[in-house]
Chains A and B, each alone.
Chain A
């Protein structure tokens, strides 16, 4: 916190605290490299971060006025002979941010039938009574009450905006875009308090006991803000395959001791307008009520048989997996489950790919639970932090709100020999890692970046009621219309410590076809209750956010006209698992240190210093479920 100078020499300097960067930081520090790990942001994990509700509102604000005119200073006095400067500047990889608040601003005074006049009054009082918090910018537009009713105008604006949405040049227009939205979100509110609210109470999930809520009261925006700390809202939407490379790495390196996990408790799918549970274990299959006895037998036989590779399968190589499934004489039900929910592929995916992902699914089943997936408590943003901690424990130095201005290139060797940080300090180093946001201008213009479409919803009930209020669900959604993307959805309950009790946090993710709003809002309107929905008997959306994020999967580690010892770490990709990031981290590590072991187990501190036989797993009552240390 003080203006302390950093040491002037490191082995590895890393800019950005995303997952790839953090894993490499931990791996290098673990084998004795001196690591300096920086991030220009005030938070860890870059585009992999999770935020409290209020934190997310400030993040949105930051994205909206992210112009940051970085003054280009002349650092030539820091240059030595034979050196050249490479200026660094970052560019946001977030586009088309849109926010909608579908719940009332303040607590309803009386039962929900508040008329619109009433609401208006409340809203006028809103900002004044709320300014204890710095994140109120979003609310400030609320003075524009006159515009409230002009829904039409807003919709037109949206149409216009759609046209330029995936276009990354249009920063300014996007800016306008946001302004329109805020007005828009204003009017949405008015709409919902008028009509939608009374019926919106969880009629489709009678199993949920309404004990905790003072019944029939919708959670207000003010409450979301008040309980904002209970939220940990991820920018990425992923799950951890229980035998995937991230889980294996966490275990192998002992980084796992810094985090706790929840099992994803069920897999759902959206089919014929209904949400159904996908049976994936033997017990599920037998308990399933959707499947006939014949189907159950067929499904079991199929799953058992496809664990091994067989000749009759290879005959289908290159042909669609769906064709293979059809020829197995599996009915429509089973084909849907197998294709979209178990293999999680599309109709034209080749058979060998479909079979491989089916096997991966089966391999991950039963390690920890009845689905192949885990989710970290407090959100995915914990994972990079855990690796950063490992790096720090082995001596890595951490500095947030601190960036690099330029690289110093040794022209003779084409290697970066030093960097200049945002305070103008020269720091020499042998290797540099940059997050991908710093190489935007250097990207190949011929291949424009791909984007992911994301939506984050806070809802008031689960998509599929069950005995437990605390289900963690993976929901697979096939394209709802021809040409629409297949969407992966994760519904988190408050037991994951990512949302306040009485709410659910829903993440949607797909490869973008157009803007996030265009890609995902039709689906959200049909699966949930929003002011645009016709059917109100579904979970109500209280608040939602749309944005596009650059897809990191195409990012090359090397090249980009950068010196040979500078590596680029890609941001989040669109896959459900973390294979891409972990593979890339290991690749970069071995480029830096070809001889070294990647993340060998960290010694257990208990073993070094304290041996009272009290490994952290004593006492069964303490950790009722599954705590076990190595």
Chain B
């Protein structure tokens, strides 16, 4: 069975070029690009992950920098089963920002959304500003997944998504299809022109 897991990644530090794109890139393609484009490259990616008897298809939305001035559009939350919020363990203010995002998410996100907090750059432990204990306790207080990652060294990236996968609730009534919605495409579905 394949279930769709839409998630979005959101960056906390102020600089645009940061970990989220590199984490996503590491996860989807297993490579780390120092000059990853924050824009076109990782705007919308997919990867399918086996989880038990199921396949979870991750549709990963990058927020394209819209969170930078606290202007994330509500459309990012639509149908999302999980949200990954990335902060930088070497920047304390990124962790403060993260707390605001969690609040925003709880207020406006879908109910029951799985929240994962990823402290990236754990390869730079010697210049760490956010103690792991503090972050972990915060994550526990809001029942969020917590993990420290290094996109550079491929540490815990796969694990992050595995953890999310395990927490995604089973699909509600996959049989019930009251909600027949669709995407628009260039070649519309077999246009049997049944008009008169």
0/1 per residue, A597-630, Cβ < 8 Å to B? 0000011011011101010101101111111111
User: Of the 9-residue stretches B41-49, B81-89, B133-141, which lies at the interface with chain A?
Assistant: B41-49
B5 to chain A, nearest CB (A): 11
Question: Does residue B162 face the partner (Cβ distance < 8 Å to A)?
Answer: no
User: CA–CA, A399 to B47, complex, Å?
Assistant: 31
Contact (Cβ within 8 A) A625 B181: yes
Contact (Cβ within 8 A) B196 A282: yes
User: CA–CA, A424 to B48, complex, Å?
Assistant: 48
A15 to chain B, nearest CB (A): 14
User: CA–CA, A619 to B174, complex, Å?
Assistant: 13
Contact (Cβ within 8 A) B179 A281: no
Nearest-neighbor residue (CB-CB) of B111 within chain A: A229
Contact (Cβ within 8 A) A400 B184: no
A16 to chain B, nearest CB (A): 14
Residues from chain A with a CB closer than 8 A to the CB of B2 are 618-619, 621-622
Question: Does residue A76 face the partner (Cβ distance < 8 Å to B)?
Answer: no
User: CA–CA, A623 to B181, complex, Å?
Assistant: 8
User: CA–CA, A221 to B1, complex, Å?
Assistant: 40
Contact (Cβ within 8 A) B183 A628: yes
Choose from A44, A261, A603, A622 the contact partner of B73 (Cβ within 8 Å): A44
Nearest-neighbor residue (CB-CB) of B25 within chain A: A609
B82 to chain A, nearest CB (A): 17
B40 to chain A, nearest CB (A): 6
B interface SS class: loop
Interface size class of A (residues with CB under 8 A): 35 or more
User: Of the 9-residue stretches A176-184, A365-373, A434-442, A577-585, which lies at the interface with chain B?
Assistant: A365-373
Chain B interface, number of residues (Cβ within 8 angstroms):
58
Our count of residue pairs bridging A and B at CB distance below 8 angstroms stands at: 188
Given contacts A605-B44, A621-B2, contact A626 B97 (CB under 8 A): no
0/1 per residue, B48-87, Cβ < 8 Å to A? 1000000001010011111111110111001000000000
Q: Which residues of A, 380-409, contact B by the 8 Å Cβ criterion? A: 382, 385-386, 388-389, 392-395, 397-402
User: Of the 9-residue stretches B117-125, B143-151, B185-193, which lies at the interface with chain A?
Assistant: B185-193
User: CA–CA, A327 to B121, complex, Å?
Assistant: 78
Contact (Cβ within 8 A) A397 B185: no
Nearest-neighbor residue (CB-CB) of A280 within chain B: B195
Contact (Cβ within 8 A) B189 A368: yes
Contact (Cβ within 8 A) B75 A366: no
Given contacts A388-B73, A392-B65, A614-B48, contact A608 B178 (CB under 8 A): no
Contact (Cβ within 8 A) B43 A605: yes
Choose from A299, A362, A497, A603 the contact partner of B40 (Cβ within 8 Å): A603
Residues from chain A with a CB closer than 8 A to the CB of B41 are 605, 608-609
Contact (Cβ within 8 A) B40 A606: no
Residues from chain A with a CB closer than 8 A to the CB of B166 are none
Contact (Cβ within 8 A) A386 B75: yes
Residues from chain B with a CB closer than 8 A to the CB of A367 are 188, 191
Nearest-neighbor residue (CB-CB) of B55 within chain A: A619
Choose from B25, B177, B195 the contact partner of A366 (Cβ within 8 Å): B195
User: CA–CA, A333 to B181, complex, Å?
Assistant: 33
Q: Which residues of B, 23-51, contact A by the 8 Å Cβ criterion? A: 25, 28-29, 39-48
User: CA–CA, A602 to B90, complex, Å?
Assistant: 35
Interface centre among B48, B75, B100, B181 (most CB of A within 10 A): B181
Question: Does residue A12 face the partner (Cβ distance < 8 Å to B)?
Answer: no
Interface centre among B28, B57, B179 (most CB of A within 10 A): B179
Residues from chain A with a CB closer than 8 A to the CB of B174 are 621
Residues from chain A with a CB closer than 8 A to the CB of B64 are 389, 392-393
Contact (Cβ within 8 A) A495 B66: no
User: CA–CA, A299 to B195, complex, Å?
Assistant: 12
Contact (Cβ within 8 A) B66 A398: yes
Contact (Cβ within 8 A) A247 B184: yes
Contact (Cβ within 8 A) A250 B184: yes
Nearest-neighbor residue (CB-CB) of A1 within chain B: B70
User: CA–CA, A259 to B74, complex, Å?
Assistant: 12
Contact (Cβ within 8 A) B46 A614: yes
Residues from chain B with a CB closer than 8 A to the CB of A400 are 69-71
Contact (Cβ within 8 A) B189 A258: no
A69 to chain B, nearest CB (A): 25
Q: List 29 A-B contacts (CB under 8 A).
A: A1-B97, A2-B14, A2-B93, A2-B97, A4-B68, A257-B183, A259-B75, A261-B183, A263-B180, A304-B196, A368-B182, A385-B74, A386-B75, A392-B66, A394-B39, A398-B65, A398-B66, A398-B68, A398-B69, A398-B71, A400-B71, A495-B179, A495-B180, A497-B179, A616-B46, A618-B57, A621-B174, A623-B4, A626-B180
